[in-house]
Amino acid sequence: MLGHGQDAAAEGTRTRWVAPVRRALARMLDPDGLSAGHAPAPPGRRTDRIVDCAAYLDGRRLPGPADHDAALAAARRGRGFVWLGLHDPQEADFAPVARTFGLDDLVAGHALNPEHRPAVERYDKVTVIVLRTSRYVEHSELTETSEVVETGSVTVFVGPRFVVTVRHGAPGALRPVRADLEARPALLALGPWAVAYAVCERIVGSYVEVAGAVEADIDAVEEQVFAPRTARDRIAHIYQLKRELMEFRRAVAPLQRPFGALLDDRELPRPVIRYFRDLHGVLSRTVERVTGYDDLLNSILQARLAQVSVDQNNDMRKIAAWAAIFAVQTFIAGIYGMNFEFIPGSKAAQGFWVVLVVMLVLAAAMHRGFRRNNWL
């Protein structure tokens, strides 16, 4: 009986530590608990892809949880709107957002593709604004591998009661935009389109900053090209700057026409139109600057290629001049080096020195002539 009691105690001890180990292993193998029949997390749960979410009423942020389902319900009760911001979402992250705000697959596809061309498109009551973001990359020296402009994208979904901003890439952080808007309740009270304007203003403002920094790089390249030859031997860094400028131009230029069409959109509140009109003017001037930079960089590249061609021609002329000088000496030495018995002056006592002096005089005369004609 005693042995049986000891076995029972040992079995109870094993049961106490085996059960927790089994539960830990189950959690590792099935973190969502789906195999045990548990329901998945609610579709409106907050993920690390959500930067911020809030409901706004009369230009003021409503207190409450940062959950888009709850925020939209609160906004509908008070005739407000929701602003949801996401960064680099995946399909699983955006699917519950699309269900909450009624975005179909065609509209939601803009949020998952970071390579969309800048555009403004309307789908029923939802307007989609696709913007390319940009950021100037600081560098101590421009080389053939320097990254000058880094680009990303921001997609803005504007609906009657919501704004969803989706950012891909590092440039174009929108936290400062939200902070600035919350400090301007009069503008924020205009509704979702006020948020869309603030986001566009921020991105267009970054275009102006990047354009100014790229202009400084172009000025430095221009000075280098027309500097003394020792300072302008490279040409690959000019081409690299042109490539970076083309990437920046693809982000800025295609947005001009959609912005112009946006001004005729009847869905835009009248007070917001004047803001967008001013922003369109800034964008147009920036596009003109970038186009001018591209033309200027083309001219600099052509000038450098012309310099290379001129330098090569100068080198070839110098080579030809020296070859002509030595050809005369070779001709004379060849004549007097032939194995003939009777050559004028070959028997004279001073014949060698006379021929040598003639060769030196001819070489000096030819050298002077080439120098006078800028061949040497």
Mark which of 308, 334, 354 sits at the end of a domain.
308
Range(s) of the domain holding residue 304? 50-308
DSSP β-bridge partners for residue 166: 86, 155
pLDDT exceeding 70 applies to what percent of the chain? 80
Say yes or no: 190 and 232 in one domain: yes
We report the CATH number of the domain holding residue 64 as 3.30.460.20
The pLDDT of residue 15 is 40
- pLDDT band at 210; cut points 50, 70, 90: very high
- How many angstroms separate the most distant Cα atoms in the chain? 142
Alpha helical stretches, state H, the chain: 2-29, 68-78, 91-101, 105-112, 175-182, 185-188, 192-225, 236-252, 256-262, 270-336, 351-372
3-state secondary structure of 128: strand
Of the ranges 137-146, 241-250, 322-331, which is most confident?
241-250
Query: Looking at residues 286-303, what average pLDDT do you find?
Result: 90
45 assigned to some structural domain: no
The pLDDT of residue 27 is 42
323 assigned to some structural domain: yes
Query: Are the C-beta atoms of residues 358 and 345 closer than 8 Å to each other?
Result: no
**Structural domains counted in the chain:** 3
User: Which has the higher per-residue pLDDT, 29 or 113?
Assistant: 113
Say yes or no: 330 and 194 in one domain: no
Say yes or no: 289 and 251 in one domain: yes
Query: Rounded to two decimals, what is the model's pTM?
Result: 0.71
Query: Looking at residues 294-312, what average pLDDT do you find?
Result: 82
Query: Cα separations (Å) of 353 from 117, 335, 342, 346, 358?
Result: 82, 15, 18, 11, 9
Say yes or no: 289 and 335 in one domain: no
Say yes or no: 179 and 257 in one domain: yes
Say yes or no: 347 and 291 in one domain: no
Q: Express each pLDDT in 243-261 by its tens digit.
A: 999 999 999 999 999 888 8
Query: Looking at residues 167-194, what average pLDDT do you find?
Result: 92
Query: Cα separations (Å) of 308 from 144, 233, 242, 311?
Result: 18, 9, 18, 5
4 assigned to some structural domain: yes
Say yes or no: 110 and 143 in one domain: yes
Q: Express each pLDDT in 17-28 by its tens digit.
A: 434 434 444 444
User: Which has the higher per-residue pLDDT, 298 or 2?
Assistant: 298
Say yes or no: 272 and 131 in one domain: yes
We report the CATH number of the domain holding residue 356 as 1.20.58.340
Say yes or no: 249 and 349 in one domain: no
Q: Express each pLDDT in 364-376 by its tens digit.
A: 888 788 778 777 7
191 assigned to some structural domain: yes
